[in-house]
């Protein structure tokens, strides 16, 4: 559907962090985020055991992934 540009089209680094695509009964967004990441070249991760509200469900894990990405980019 071309709703998002390819990762290379952004002017800088982008990371996509999503819900667990393996979670039984999980949200459809988990699978679409995974497909978006894999098919469009995004630096993609997911937080195991989380649904759509991953930042509330596992805030420390979400923060860790963001901090790792920022460190990789030389920002932290």
The residues, any chain, with a CB within 8 Å of residue 4's CB and separated by 6 or more, are: 36, 40
Q: How far apart are CA 17 and CA 25, in angstroms?
A: 19
pLDDT on residue 1: 61
Give bridge partners of residue 17 from the DSSP assignment.
45
pLDDT attached to residue 4:
83
Contact 53, 66 (CB under 8 A): no
Q: Give me the residue spans of the domains in the chain.
A: 7-72
In order along the chain (76 residues), what is the average pLDDT of each group of 10 residues? 83 94 92 92 96 96 97 91
The pLDDT of residue 76: 76
54 contacts: CB under 8 Å, gap ≥ 6 = 17, 18, 19, 20, 47, 62
């Amino acid at each position: 559907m071309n709703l998002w540009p390819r990762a290379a089209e952004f002017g800088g680094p982008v990371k996509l962090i999503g819900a667990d695509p393996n979670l039984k009964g999980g949200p459809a967004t988990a699978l679409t985020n995974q497909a978006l990441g894999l098919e469009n070249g995004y630096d993609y991760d997911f937080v195991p055991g989380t649904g759509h509200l991953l930042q509330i469900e596992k805030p420390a894990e979400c923060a860790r992934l963001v901090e790792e990405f920022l460190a990789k980019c030389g920002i932290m």
